[in-house]
A and B are shown apart, each in its own frame.
Chain A
């Protein structure tokens, strides 16, 4: 019996687009050479640097291709000629953060909730208008796609816990089952890509764009995360959730939250990497506008959910659904782990309506502000390494484009009156 004939290697570029290459199985073992201009491309075009990088399959992530029995799917890492992770490899940046935690005997478990719109490509509008969150009846109209999503992704080793219509017409949410963090990121990257592919097979578009329409809800990636201590070789039992303390958030959990809070502002670009993402962040939108945390409360940036050991976790609610998943996770984990290691205490938890709390610090309100903040972040460079400068290199032109572009909103508002 022979193995699959082909290997489909997927990777994420710096701005979060999932890309893939299919190669003959025998040709993948040593990696696949790719032009650097492709892997370091921004929204505005190819990356400026010449040369090549090596896409190296991570065989531990191999899984069957549910559409094509002759191929298997695998995630890849981008390697520089010296054999080290390339600066453009966001997956490697996440792995570095997780390896650091593993060195301390810690493992992060994570799960992404992804929101997206299904769009009629002819109208570029959602496939229906009415809001019907959680409606099982309305959800039946999405089953032509979402059932397929659940079934196919399961074959890919991506268990989808649940799906539901979200808080806008044509918007849905998929809850991916939690797992070890690198695998959780891989799951989110593949899910986002394959939802779009499956929508296209039905003549529709799916978009994870942060804020497609002013008057409609944005699409976020709520990231659920918890830190577990691995037992030593001599110790019995399984890993223990460090956040869990008799139904409350543990001191370690408070430290982790403190790190998330302290670094949230400077790392916000990692989860909101387009100018559009800053339109999503509006009061009374269920997207956070202020840096704060507390118990189960959807107006906060960090929502703590306590319960059993298996369910106690922290939900960071700021990232947009169109972010680079690896970088958003890497930034959040690095921040949280820094707080956990230092034993920091977070500010007082917030109860009530955080949108009215003018005393709380604001999240960055614009893309240029977020670019400048990341550029000056010591934690980002220390924890995530050269990927930060690579990311800034492809996002800075976006700031120029933003500043020099005239939009339809501006024409509608000003053209006839000034």
Chain B
């Protein structure tokens, strides 16, 4: 976290909570490239006796696929590198209660190498680089986010209208409320929850907050939702498209930009499209058709940008990609690109409806590196590891025989 947000955290909080018997376990975690919250659980007394401390983790888990499969094509780590440890530093002053899991606290860390340098394949490091570049351009950003998901019966589909009681008496709404309350009680910037359009769906609102803090809060939010739903016999799902659902599960990024040139929505859309796999990182997510990017000019000189990623996306990666698109436009001077200027107003200007993604599916992921600004802002090491994983995912899908194919062709041929 950038800074402790409430009096729930800070020097001495964890030790005092342990003394009061309120905390017995600390989660020592970090975010992977898919927004998974990885780490270990440690007894609080053990942590306090050693903290601040570093812990090693097999570095393959930061360049693995969604099923933890590791591939040889990721240069950062593979069998030829021997999968050594990545190192994460955990400081007790950054501990927060995991309020939805009584007795647990958590500390977030950022993956580093053995010399203590941020790993340039880690989304947190990429995001930090993007934020530094924005600062150098005198562009300041704060972010709100809305994260859509659904609480469903395990391996099943919901019955009834949104928020209706599910068979065991729980409901998506109650899961969403529990997530909101749990995050807020943990000192995280969660501010709202509402029902979605589809049965079982909910939308969590977070922010405004510092960008890095929001990215971590979103990772925690997804985990908390899964844990809370699981404890109720349900399953929290963030898959972009679900059978029978009218709405895609999207992560809305609501960015307030201060400083820099006026942003051209069409130019911004093209840049967002150029990094689409980072925002829609699965074969399913790539099928989504999110709203076009919106840019609105505020009367106070700020600009508001709405951009969308899949709820499946790693929040840090999605934020880094979106902010890199904004920052690179600011760097280039947005007016130099053709297209209408943003108009003042609450929704501003959507990008032209004719805009089409340059990258249609994950097989095209390598096209991201065709754009110099992408490599410049996100870094070649990050892309060189991300692209093979997207291509690997596409290859697996291409090789798979799906239930759709069986249903469509089995008896027809």
Contact = CB atoms under 8 A, between A and B. Distances in A.
Interface of A: 130-137, 139-141, 143, 146-147, 150-151, 154, 159-164, 167, 175, 177, 284, 286, 294-300, 305, 351-356
6 contacts: A160-B43, A163-B41, A294-B82, A296-B84, A305-B56, A305-B85
Contacts of B61: 133-134
B83 A146 contact: no
Contacts of B261: none
Interface stretch (B185-193, B223-231, B360-368): B223-231
A356 B72 CA distance: 13
B25 interface: yes
Given A137-B227, A141-B230, A353-B79, A296 B85 contact: yes
Contacts of A352: 80-82
A140 B235 CA distance: 13
Interface of B: 24-25, 27-29, 36-43, 46, 55-58, 61, 67-69, 78-85, 101, 103, 106, 114, 222-223, 226-227, 230
A136 B39 contact: yes
A150 B40 contact: no
Given A296-B84, A298-B84, A351-B82, A134 B67 contact: no
Given A297-B83, A353-B79, A130 B67 contact: yes
Contact of B57 (A134, A139, A147, A159): A134
Contacts of A163: 40-41
A305 B38 CA distance: 22
B68 A159 contact: no
Given A161-B46, A162-B55, A298-B84, 8 more contacts: A133-B68, A134-B39, A134-B61, A136-B37, A146-B41, A150-B41, A150-B43, A162-B42
Contacts of B24: 147, 151
Contacts of A154: 43
Given A136-B29, A137-B227, A300 B42 contact: no
A134 B40 contact: yes
A64 B274 CA distance: 63
Given A134-B57, A353-B80, A161 B68 contact: no
B36 A140 contact: no
A337 B349 CA distance: 74
B46 A137 contact: no
A75 B369 CA distance: 62
Contacts of B29: 136
A313 to B, nearest CB: 12
B82 A150 contact: no
Contacts of B58: 133-134, 298
A295 B81 CA distance: 11
A361 B226 CA distance: 47
Of A137, A151, A299, A300, most buried by chain B (CB within 10 Å of CB) is: A137
A162 B41 contact: yes
A134 B39 CA distance: 5
Contacts of B83: 286, 297-299
Most B C-beta atoms less than 10 A away, residue of A132, A134, A295, A296 = A134
A159 B226 CA distance: 29
Q: Which 3 A-B pairs have the closest CB atoms?
A: A297-B82, A134-B38, A296-B84
B82 A298 contact: yes
B68 A167 contact: yes
Nearest to B55: A162
Contacts of A141: 230
A175 B47 CA distance: 13
Contacts of A355: 79
Contacts of A133: 38, 58, 61, 68
B17 to A, nearest CB: 16
Contact of B40 (A162, A295, A297, A305): A162
A187 B57 CA distance: 23
Interface centre among B82, B101, B222, B230 (most CB of A within 10 A): B82
Contacts of A351: 82
A139 B42 CA distance: 12
Contacts of A300: 82
Nearest to A131: B68
A177 B84 CA distance: 21
B264 to A, nearest CB: 40
Contacts of A298: 58, 82-84
A159 B46 contact: yes
Contacts of B226: 137, 140
Contacts of A162: 28, 40-42, 46, 55
Contacts of A161: 42, 46
Given A130-B67, A299-B79, A300-B82, A164 B39 contact: yes
Contacts of A294: 82
A132 B27 contact: no
Contacts of A136: 27, 29, 37-39, 41, 106, 223
A177 B37 contact: no
A107 to B, nearest CB: 21
A131 B41 contact: no
Nearest to A177: B46
Nearest to B43: A150
Contacts of A131: 67-69
Given A133-B68, A135-B37, A140 B101 contact: yes
Contacts of B78: 353
Contacts of B41: 136, 139, 143, 146, 150, 162-164
A352 B223 CA distance: 35
B82 A137 contact: no
A218 to B, nearest CB: 16
A304 to B, nearest CB: 11
Contacts of B57: 134
B40 A164 contact: yes
Residue picked from A136, A151, A295, most chain B C-beta under 10 Å = A136
A114 to B, nearest CB: 14
Nearest to B101: A140
Contacts of A147: 24-25, 103
A147 B102 CA distance: 12
A150 B27 CA distance: 13
A149 to B, nearest CB: 11
A82 B257 CA distance: 84
Contacts of B79: 284, 299, 353, 355-356
B230 to A, nearest CB: 6
A76 to B, nearest CB: 28
A368 B381 CA distance: 47
A117 B405 CA distance: 36
Nearest to A154: B43
Contact of B223 (A137, A143, A151, A160): A137
